[in-house]
Structure 1
Amino acid sequence: MDCTEAYKEHIMYSFNGFCKVVIRYAAINAWRDRNRRRQKEISFEYLTEEKFYPLSTSDEFLKSPYEQYPVTICGQTIILTNGELAAALLSLPEKKREIIYLYFFGNYTQQEIADLYGQCKSTAWHYIHSALQMLQEEMEVLLHGES
């Protein structure tokens, strides 16, 4: 079945008309959705006009139920909630404390620790492992010594 030029032109105009209607209604729906969203939104100007009380850390529900033990390592203060762990950390030699701080609190990798101390990665792993062993031994002494 051969299509005449007039029929092809009719199909093209019909398709273009259909596309225009679809695009028009899609734009109308998008405009309505945007208006609905804008009606539900609150502007920042409104929020700043209202009287808000600043948050305070003195509220009872924000207080920690645990005792806090500050430990300073590498010039940084770490707050621990376990007194035995804090005491064990403070009893370690300075280098072991630094390594534990860098690896566990500073999120340094073994390679970065090795670069800091001018050693290879396996030596840094050995430093970390030996520091953890010393910490474990100190914790056991503190826990069994109190019993």
Structure 2
Amino acid sequence: MALKIAPHLSAAAIEPSHFDKMKVGLALNVFSKATSAGLKYMVQQENRPLSYLTTAWFLEQVDRWFDLMSSHHPITALSRLKMEEYQEAITVQDIVHLFRGIKIGQKGGEALADDSQREIQHPPPTEPDSISERKGDEQH
């Protein structure tokens, strides 16, 4: 029995229609810790490109931002009397700074994210000599 790396990702989440783009739930499935963990797994266990780790990190940042913004009003977290809430407010400020400073590379951030998200949903078939034999070859 094969397990999917990210079972919560669907075709609608990866390639949304005009109406699917309005569904917050589909976006939450993409920008999630689970999707991030799937990308990290693919890098560590399936020898995928290290650029997936950047996408995984970004997904975690968006997930954290959404959690903070939907759990309470950020204005209530500005008091230093409640340090945990104050730290959350600083995290929100850091993420906003990140969003404002994003620069898209030559391939384009959207295309890079799409590539890694499609692959996490439908990984290419593994070749018998891919990872295990490469590791064995490196030892000789």
Larger radius of gyration: 1
Which has more strand, going by share of residues?
1
TM-score between the two structures when normalised by the length of structure 2: 0.30
